[in-house]
A and B are shown apart, each in its own frame.
Chain A
Amino acid sequence: MSKENEQEFSLQLLRSGDRAEIARLVDAYSTKIYRLALKMLANPQDAEDVLQNTFLKAIQALPKFEARSSLSTWLYRIAVNESLMLIRRRKPEIDISLKKDDDESELELTHFSDWCCLPESELISAEAQEHLDEAVQKLSEKLRVVFILRDIEKLSIAETSEALEISEAAVKLRLLRARLKLREILSKYYVERLDSEKKDEKQS
């Protein structure tokens, strides 16, 4: 996806500061960067700050961009760092170093009720959407950023590893933990919906 996007851009023009080419780059990535920041921070004003600072820094650094990573993962990396910086400023007491060792505690499965049969309208209602967003906020920053890049921005494992500068093994482990945790949180919510639906059926 991102690789295809990329060939449309002339690195030469971008490095030389060609404003039309830069505007095209901004348009191609502004929704992705904004969405990443919004899901990371859950605050539109903060997301806008991260968006602006990401492109300001990127444009400043473009003349020296060596294409050691792809443009796309490079932009994501800047945006992730900007987001983490903002979180650190808000919550200096928590440690959110992405390099930190992973939680080795054993994974445990819970919640074995099947809610897949809920109708799509119920699964992605406006209320459900809020729960989907809230659930992401319940992940630690380390897990959240991996989940957002992989399952919301749809980067590959390799691209996620490149953007975060962590190993692919760490990406896989964090992704699994994030997904399982979200499944658990969503199960609680959707099973409630399922129960209330059954109740409604009985009453009518």
Chain B
Amino acid sequence: MKNNLNCGALLASLSEYVDGILGDALCKEIESHIADCDDCRVVVDTLKKTIYLYHETSEKTAIPIDVRERLFHRLDLDDFVRDRSQL
């Protein structure tokens, strides 16, 4: 064993690791583990990719114009519906 971190122990810190908010010491342990452990490297890479895909695609969902119009109407804000500066 090159390092004392096993695959299971890595799991608990995975979220913080991919968010880049894990402390330096644990970060190094994970990095040296995935340099040797192919399975964990794939888990880390595909986990990062999974989160990236949701980040990327979520931007595409915007409120449809008709939904916004009905919302403004329901809220009795029809006179402001033209001002779309925030959209």
A residues bordering B, Cβ < 8 Å?
19-20, 22-24, 26-28, 30-31, 34-35, 38-39, 44, 48, 51-52, 55-56, 59, 107, 109, 111-116, 123-124, 128-129, 132, 151-154, 172, 175-176, 179-180, 182-183, 186-187
Give 5 nearest A-B pairs by CB, closest first: A27-B86, A23-B80, A176-B15, A152-B58, A112-B39
B interface secondary structure, majority: helix
Residues of chain A contacted by B50 (CB below 8 angstroms)? 179, 182-183, 186
Which of A59, A109, A179 is close to B75, meaning CB atoms less than 8 Å apart? A59
* Structural contact, B46 and A187, CB atoms closer than 8 A: yes
- What secondary structure prevails in chain A residues at the interface with B? helix
CA distance A55 to B18 in the complex (A): 35
Task: Please name 9 pairs of A and B residues whose Cβ atoms are closer than 8 Å in the assembled complex, sorted by A.
Answer: A20-B80, A22-B75, A34-B63, A48-B70, A109-B11, A112-B39, A112-B43, A179-B47, A183-B47
CB distance B67 to A51 under 8 Å?
yes
